[in-house]
Amino acid sequence: MTIKKLVVTMSVWIAAITGLHLWLNFDWESFLNDSRPEAERKLNVAYIPVT
Amino acid sequence: MFLPKLFQGFPEIKEALIANRMQAGFLGAPMAIALRSQGVPIKIVYLGHRYGSAFVVSKDGPIHTVRDLAGKTIAVASRFSDERLIVGRALRANSMSESEVKMVEMAPPDMASALSSHAVDAFVTGEPFPSQAELGGYGRVLFFAREYWPDYISCVLVVRDDVIERRPEAVQMLVDGIARSGLWLDEGKAHREYAAEFVGRYYYQQPPRILRWALTHPMDRVTYTPLSPTRPDFDLIVDLMVQAKLLDQRLEFEDYVDPRFAEHTTTLRSWQFEPGND
């Protein structure tokens, strides 16, 4: 495998893993909410799975 | 208007409220009062439910009465949990003291498996974990909270002071929504079974059959009305906390409760939604 091919393969792999992480694990809803002005922000309400 | 966030324990919610990562949350009533007494800027604005806690022992074990608990290990969610106060009340009602048992703190989701593996002799916490132990075939309810504490309160809704001050309309909407949901849940078994399905799948991430059991066996195992915080209920909790040395001195009701939002709920009606019509 040439250096160029190796670099391209690794770049694609890193991009794919990063994309999957951002898609599956990153809390976009909270991130976008925290970016809004305070008056427009949704309230974060904490709960535990107990009555 | 709201983003519900699932946590696994009250201590984590406490930290998130202090850090303003959460603006509101459900906490055990004693923990909320203790935090307020320590200067954390939160107030109780509404209750989450009434009852819903049970004391569970091994199904085929030797504990059949409260007096059999002498020398046994009991798991509680926190020393600042209502359930810990219930243990004290049950022991005193049976002429025993807290020094006769060993209480250990444990996250509620770990309690049923701890009982099943005999790591503890008993646990006391909110539903659905008592139901989980019953349905799993290894747990038996020794007593429900109501037997030692009429009108028992566990989870309360707390909101940060700055949010109450700057966004009271949002707090009112949250309280109104909980009040209307409570009225809806107390309208009958069909509503509770439907709630068990979607709460189990989308909020609690637990098998709906466990929640169905917790909400319907019997129907008053957990109740959702009335949920307005009242002075006598909280005076009792504060008294028990002082007795258990969880508070150095009494706090006045107004110091930790803001009843304005609950007052508005008394004229509300339940959600107009029938399962099967969605």
Block mean pLDDT (10 aa), chain B, length 278: 90 92 95 95 97 96 97 95 95 96 93 96 96 96 95 95 96 96 95 93 91 93 95 96 93 96 91 79
Dihedral (CA of B189, B176, A50, B197) sign: positive
Q: Which residue of A has its CA nearest to B54?
A: A51
- pLDDT at site B104: 97
Q: Are residues B254 and B164 in the same domain?
A: yes
Is B45 among the domain residues?
yes
Two structure tokens written together for B64: 């059949």
Query: Between B24, B25, B125, which is nearest A50 by CB?
Result: B125
The whole-number pLDDT of residue B205 equals 87
At position B236, the amino acid (one-letter code) is: L
Residue B82 Cα, gap to closest chain A Cα (Å): 13
- Whether B116 and B139 map to the same domain: the answer is yes
CB spacing of A44 vs B222 below 8 angstroms: no
Let me know whether B108 and B233 are in one domain.
no
> Residues B161, B259: one domain?
yes
Task: Judge: A51–B22 Cβ closer than 8 Å, yes or no.
Answer: no
Together in a domain, B58 and B93: yes
Mapped onto helix, strand or coil, the DSSP state of residue A48 is: coil
Same domain, B56 and B43: no
Q: Tell me, yes or no, whether B62 and B111 share the same domain.
A: yes
Residues of chain A contacting B7 with CB distance shorter than 8 Å = 46-48
For residue B181, what pLDDT is reported? 96
Whether B108 is covered by a domain: the verdict is: yes
Please judge whether A48 and B6 are an interchain contact, meaning their C-beta atoms are less than 8 angstroms apart.
Answer: yes
Inside any domain, residue B216: no
CATH of the domain at B242: 3.40.190.10
Q: B105: domain range?
A: 51-147
Chain B residues with CB-CB distance to A30 below 8 A:
3, 5
Closest C-alpha among B124, B139, B62, B138 to residue B91? B124
Predicted local confidence at residue B211, as pLDDT: 94
Helix (H, G, I), strand (E, B) or coil at B127: coil
Q: What's the N-to-C CA distance of chain A in angstroms?
A: 59
Structural contact between residues A48 and B25, judged by C-beta atoms closer than 8 angstroms: no
Same domain, B123 and B107: yes
Residue type, B103: M
Same domain as B253, residue B162 = yes
Residue B27 shares a structural domain with residue B90: no
Number of domains, chain B = 2
pLDDT digits (tens, 9 = 90+) for A7-47: 999 999 999 999 999 999 998 988 899 899 988 899 999 99
Same domain membership, residue B263 and residue B163 = yes
**B68 and B170, same domain (yes or no):** no
